[in-house]
Structure 1
Amino acid sequence: MMKKAKKSLLTLLIVVFAMSLVLAACGGGNNSNTSEGGNNASEANNGGNVAASELEPYELHMVYPGTKQRDHDKVMAEINAYLKEKINATITIEPIEWGQWDQKVNLMIASREPVDIYFTAQWSNYVVNVAKGAFLELDDLLANTEAGQEIVASLDPAFLTGSKINGKNFGIPTNKELAASGGVVYRSDIAEELGLDMDSVQSLEDLRPILKTVKEELPEMIPLFMREGENFNSDYIGLYDPLGDSNIPGVILKDEESTTVKPRYEFDRYRNHLDLVREFFQAGYINQDATTTTLSTSDALKAGNVFMITASLKPGKDDELASTLGLNGKLKQIELTPKTIATSETAGSMLAISQSSENPERALMFVNLLHTDKYLNNLLNFGIEGEHYTRDGEVISATEQTANYSPASAWMFGNQFLNYLWDTEDPQKWEQFKSFNDEGINSPGLGFTFDGEAVKTQIAALVNIRTEYDGALNVGAVDPDEVLPRYIEKMKAAGLDDVLAEKQRQFDEFLANQ
C-alpha cells in the first residue's frame, strides 16, 4: 500500500524531527551560536558569519497577513536596533489585513514593488506566484551562503523536500509541526455557562444543537465565525490535498488512497459541507458578513463576541491562542478529522524572497535569524520582555500590556521551537508535537507539488473564477443548488479539464518514480 510504503521515509524524517526537538528544548535551537537574549551582537552570529561593519546598510521590507498591533512601532524600533548590530540592516515589517491580503500581494507583485520578503504558503497562491516569477529560486543561496546552510541545518529535511516546485525551492518553510488535523476552537467559559455538552461533538453535524443554543441564549454572540479560507471546505477540514497551491483546481483526499485527481465538487464531502454551512448561515449561526469580513479568526475571537471558529489544529493550539488573545482558560479545541501529513503541511507557512529584492543575501540573513536567533524570534512574536510579557527561563507570563502586542503569528516566522511557552501552555508541548506527527496518516501526494507553468493561462482564469464563487459558497451565503452549476460551467469553459489532465500527468510521473 502506498501509505505503508512511505512509512519508512516518514520514520526517518521523524527521527530527525525528534532530534531537533531535543535541541530546541535545550534552549538553543539547532544553532550552537543562537542568541539567548539581549542586544549583545558578540554573543551570536549575524545569520551569515559576516561582521556587521563589513556590510553596507540596507533597508528590508517584509509583508505578511495579519493585524497591525498597537505597539507595532515600539517593537519594530527594538527589532531594528538589534538588526543594525547583527546585519547592519533595518526592516519595515508590514502586516496586511487578511481580507485584503491576496489583492494587495497581487498588486505588489504586478507592480514589482520593492519588497524583499513575502509570507507565502500552499494555500496562499504559492504556486501561482512562482509561475508569475514573483519569488527568487533559493537553491544556490541555501547551498552557497552560510546563512543558507544554517537554515538547512535548522530544518527537518521534510520541509524543504516537500515544498519544492519542479525540484527547486522558492520558499523557506517555518519549522513547526508536520502533521495537521481540522476542527474547531470554542469559548469553554461560555459552553460551561450554558451547560453545553461539548463531549457530544464528534462531527460537524453534531454542532447543530450547540450553535442553536448559543444563538437562542446569547443573541448578541456569533455562534460560528467564518470567512473565506476558514470554513468547512477548508483543506484542513475537508482533508483535500491540492497537490500544490490550493487555489489551483484538482485534489485528492489525504485520508484515502486514491490517486485520481478530481475537482472538489466531485467529492461527496464537499457538497455535504456546502449544504450544512448553508443551513447554518440561514439559521443565523454564522456571521452574516462572512463574505466580506477582513477579520482573521483569531481577531474575531479576541473581539469577545464569537463563540466558535474553525481551525487547523495541533497540540495546544487552544492554549496558544488563549495566551496571545487574552483569553487564558477560556478556549478549548475539538479535533474532527484524523491527523494527516501532506505537502500542504511542509509548505503551509513559508517566507519567500522577492525577485524585486535588491539584496537577496541580506534578506536571507534576516530569515536565517528568525530560524536561529532566539532573542529576535521571540521579540517579533511576543514583543518586549518586561513590558509585553515577563519571563522565567523558557516560560513567559502575560502582563497588562500583552494585548498591545500579540500578533498570534508565531507559526509564520522561522522556527517555532525557539518560541517561549506561555505559563498556560503544557510544558510538554514540543514532545506532544512528536507524538502528533507519529500518529499522522500520509497523504498519497506527500512530497509532490504541481508545477503550473504549462497551463498558467488557464490557472490564472480559474483562480479568478474561484475568487468570484468560493467565498460565498463556502460560508453558506448563497444557495449551492443555484450557484454551484454556474460555477462548474465557468470553470470548464476556462480550461478546468486542461489543468486536471496536466496535474494528473505530473502526479502519475511522480508516483511512478517513488
Structure 2
Amino acid sequence: MVQMRKKRFSAIIVMLVAMLLFSACSGGKSAGGANDTTGGDQATNAAESAEPQASKPAAGASDLKPYELKLVYTGAPQADEKKVEEAMNTYLTEKINATIDIAPIDWGPWEDKLNLMIASREKVDVVFTAQWQKYAVNVAKGAFKDLGPLLESHGQGIVESLDPAFLEGSKIDGKNYGVPTNKELAAQGGIIYRKDIAEELGIDMTQVITIADLDAVFKAVKDGKPGMTPLYLKEGETFNSHYLGNYDALGDTSIPGMILKDSDSTKVVPSYELPRYVDTLKITREFYKKGYINSDAATNQTMNTDAMKAGNVFAMTSSLKPGKYAEIENQTGLIGKLAQIPLNEKTIATSETAGAMLAVSTTSGDPERAMMFINLLHTDKYLNNLLNFGIEGDHYEKASEEIIKPTDNTKSYSPGAAWMLGSQFLNYVWESEDPDKWAQYKEFNQNAKVSPGLGFVFNSDSVKAEVGAIVNVDSQYLIALETGSVDVDKVLPEYIEKLKAAGIDKIIEEKQTQFDKFLASK
C-alpha cells in the first residue's frame, strides 16, 4: 500500500528541506504561509486571481449533464445548511452544472458512520480524510479513487496553487488518493484556555511550559470555579494525541509502531515503550483522580469546541497554529476570552502533509465533477468562503475587502471546517483575528524540527490480520487509558498483554524493516 521508490523519497526530502530553507531566508511581505516556494507567493496570487475567474463558467460547463454532488466531512450540522446549499447550487450550476448536498457528520459518530458508508458502498462524491483518520486503511479498502488522472484533467488549479510538498508527502505507493488542504505545514500542540477566567482567578499562565505545570492551574480553577471543568478530554483529544506527544506513527496512526518527531532516533517502538507516553498517561490519571477532567471522558462524544461553547470548560487540548485560539473564539462565540499555550516543539512530518484532505469516493457517479468541485475550493474565493462562512450580509458582514465580522445570525452557519475544505489562503479573516494571519503561517513554518520519518508511510498489507486485531484491542483499552479514566498501573500491563497476543511485535518488526529500507534509500 505504501512503499515508495528510492528516487521519489529522495526528491520529497530534498524538496521539503529546500522549501523550508527558502522560506526561512526569503524576505518581502508575502502572506502565503506555507506556500512561498518560488519567490512569488503562489497562495496570495491564487487568492488575488480567484475572484475574476469566479465570474466565468468552467470551459464546457454548459455541455455537462446536471449532477448532484454529495460532500461528507466531520462536523456539526448547521441550522442554515440548506440556505447555504441553495446559494452554492446557484453558483455551481453556472460553473460546473452541479448542485451540492452538504452532509456533515458529527465527530462522535463520524468513524462508525464513515465505515458504514464505505462498507455499504453508499453513493458519495467528496469525503474528508486524513492520515489520523485511517486514510491508509480506507485506501486499502478501495474507498478512494487514485486522483492522478483527475488532477491532470480537472485539477490544474490545485497543482498550480498547492505546494508540491503536500501532494508528494501525502502519496500512498506513489499515488494521490486525497487532495490536501492548502494550509500550514508545521505542527504544534498545546491547550486552548479561558483567558478571562485565568485573569479573574489571578492565574499566571506564563508559568505553564509542560503538561505537569497545569496541575496548579487546574487546581486553582477547580477551587475558584467549582462548577467549571478544568480540562475537557475525549477520544483523540488528549495529552497523548499525536499532535501533543509529537508521535510519528510513520503512516496511519491506528497502526502501532512510532518514533518521536522531535528526536533523531529511528528505532520503531510501540507507544508503551516510550517513557514520554507512559509518563503522560500517569499525569493524566492523576488529573482525573483530582477531578480536573470530565468524568465521562472515555465515553463522551461531544466535540471539545462544543464543550467550550457551553461555557463551563476552562481548557481543552488542541493542535495549534498562529491564531488558533481566535478561530475557536469565532466558532464558540467566546470572542476575546480565549488564548493558547504550546506544550511541545514545532515539527514537520508526513502527518502534516496528509493531515487534512478531500478524497473522491469510488462510489461517486461523476468523479470528474467531484474533482472540478475540489479544484474550485482551491481556486475560487467566492465559493470557498461561501462554504466555510456562509452568505455575506446574513452569516457575516465585510469590515473590509478581506476582513469579516459576525452578525446576529453567524451562529446559524459556523461549521469551523475551513482547515478541511480547499485552500485556507482564500479564506476571509475574522476581525477578531490578526489581519496578518497568513503571513504568520509562513513564519510558523520556519525553524520546525523535521521528523526522521518525513516522506515515509508504512505498507501494512503483510500484517492486515494483526492490524485488525490491534484495532479491536485499542477500542477496549486506549480511550480509557489516555483520558485517565482507569488505573494505569493495573490496566496498562493488561493492555500490553492483549496487544502482544494480537500480534503487535510482528507489526513493529515489519514497520522497522520497511523504515530501514526507506532510510537507506535516502
Length-normalised TM-score, structure 2: 0.92
After TM superposition, give the deviation of residue 499 of structure 1 in Å.
1.4
C-alpha distance 44-339 of structure 1, shift in aligned 2 (>3 A)? farther
Q: How does 1:196-215 map to 2 (within 5 A)?
A: 196-215=203-222
> What is the distance in 2 between the residues matched to 1:229 and 1:370?
27
> Does the Cα contact within 8 Å between 1:131 and 1:456 map onto a contact in 2?
no
> Does the Cα contact within 8 Å between 1:458 and 1:499 map onto a contact in 2?
yes
Length-normalised TM-score, structure 1: 0.94
**2:51 aligns with one of 18, 21, 35:** 35
Give the residue type in structure 1 aligned to 2:284. V
Indicate the residue corresponding to 1:18 in structure 2: 36
**2:223 aligns with one of 213, 216, 228:** 216
> Does the Cα contact within 8 Å between 2:238 and 2:482 map onto a contact in 1?
yes
Determine whether 1:100 maps to 2:109: yes
Indicate the residue corresponding to 1:111 in structure 2: 120
After TM superposition, give the deviation of residue 35 of structure 1 in Å.
2.8
> What is the distance in 2 between the residues matched to 1:288 and 1:11?
47
RMSD: 1.8
- Match of 2:358, SS state, is strand
Determine whether 1:166 maps to 2:184: no
> Does the Cα contact within 8 Å between 1:162 and 1:449 map onto a contact in 2?
no
> What is the distance in 2 between the residues matched to 1:293 and 1:156?
37
After TM superposition, give the deviation of residue 7 of structure 1 in Å.
7.4
> What is the distance in 1 between the residues matched to 2:168 and 2:270?
26
After TM superposition, give the deviation of residue 389 of structure 1 in Å.
0.7
Give the residue type in structure 1 aligned to 2:51. S
Give the residue type in structure 1 aligned to 2:75. G
Give the residue type in structure 1 aligned to 2:520. A
After TM superposition, give the deviation of residue 468 of structure 1 in Å.
2.0
**1:150 aligns with one of 151, 154, 157:** 157
Determine whether 1:53 maps to 2:62: yes
- Match of 1:451, SS state, is coil
> What is the distance in 2 between the residues matched to 1:198 and 1:24?
35
> What is the distance in 2 between the residues matched to 1:75 and 1:194?
42
> What is the distance in 2 between the residues matched to 1:382 and 1:325?
14
Paired residues, number: 499
After TM superposition, give the deviation of residue 12 of structure 1 in Å.
2.7
Q: How does 1:311-350 map to 2 (within 5 A)?
A: 311-350=318-357
After TM superposition, give the deviation of residue 23 of structure 1 in Å.
4.3
> Does the Cα contact within 8 Å between 2:263 and 2:451 map onto a contact in 1?
yes
> What is the distance in 2 between the residues matched to 1:42 and 1:104?
34
**1:365 aligns with one of 348, 365, 372:** 372
> Does the Cα contact within 8 Å between 1:252 and 1:261 map onto a contact in 2?
yes
> What is the distance in 2 between the residues matched to 1:489 and 1:338?
32
> What is the distance in 2 between the residues matched to 1:157 and 1:465?
37
Percent identity between the two aligned chains: 57
Indicate the residue corresponding to 1:415 in structure 2: 423
Give the residue type in structure 2 aligned to 1:85. E
Determine whether 1:273 maps to 2:280: yes
> What is the distance in 2 between the residues matched to 1:91 and 1:465?
39
Give the residue type in structure 1 aligned to 2:36. A
Indicate the residue corresponding to 2:84 in structure 1: 75
Indicate the residue corresponding to 2:493 in structure 1: 485
Gaps of 5+ in 2: 1-11, 24-33
- Match of 1:277, SS state, is helix
> Does the Cα contact within 8 Å between 1:99 and 1:292 map onto a contact in 2?
no
> Does the Cα contact within 8 Å between 1:131 and 1:452 map onto a contact in 2?
no
Deviations 1:131-159 (CA, angstroms, capped at 9, x unpaired): 1111111112212x0x2222111110110
> What is the distance in 1 between the residues matched to 2:324 and 2:172?
29
> Does the Cα contact within 8 Å between 1:35 and 1:44 map onto a contact in 2?
no
> What is the distance in 1 between the residues matched to 2:37 and 2:425?
12
**2:186 aligns with one of 176, 179, 186:** 179
Q: How does 1:80-91 map to 2 (within 5 A)?
A: 80-91=89-100
> Does the Cα contact within 8 Å between 1:382 and 1:405 map onto a contact in 2?
yes
C-alpha distance 428-19 of structure 1, shift in aligned 2 (>3 A)? farther
Determine whether 1:376 maps to 2:383: yes
Give the residue type in structure 2 aligned to 1:35. E
- Match of 1:224, SS state, is strand
Deviations 1:397-429 (CA, angstroms, capped at 9, x unpaired): 111111111111110001000000111111221
Q: How does 1:118-133 map to 2 (within 5 A)?
A: 118-133=127-142
> Does the Cα contact within 8 Å between 1:322 and 1:331 map onto a contact in 2?
yes
> What is the distance in 1 between the residues matched to 2:207 and 2:352?
29
> What is the distance in 1 between the residues matched to 2:166 and 2:308?
30
> What is the distance in 1 between the residues matched to 2:248 and 2:191?
20
Deviations 1:317-348 (CA, angstroms, capped at 9, x unpaired): 11121123211111100011010000011000
> What is the distance in 2 between the residues matched to 1:379 and 1:445?
37
> What is the distance in 2 between the residues matched to 1:489 and 1:148?
48
Deviations 1:20-75 (CA, angstroms, capped at 9, x unpaired): 8834446x438x4x236xxxx872453xxx33211011111121111111211211
> Does the Cα contact within 8 Å between 1:155 and 1:175 map onto a contact in 2?
yes
Determine whether 1:497 maps to 2:510: no
> What is the distance in 2 between the residues matched to 1:164 and 1:428?
31
Deviations 1:228-282 (CA, angstroms, capped at 9, x unpaired): 1110100011100011111110100000011111111100011111111111111
After TM superposition, give the deviation of residue 434 of structure 1 in Å.
1.1
Indicate the residue corresponding to 2:397 in structure 1: 390
Q: How does 1:236-251 map to 2 (within 5 A)?
A: 236-251=243-258
Indicate the residue corresponding to 2:27 in structure 1: none
> What is the distance in 2 between the residues matched to 1:19 and 1:265?
39
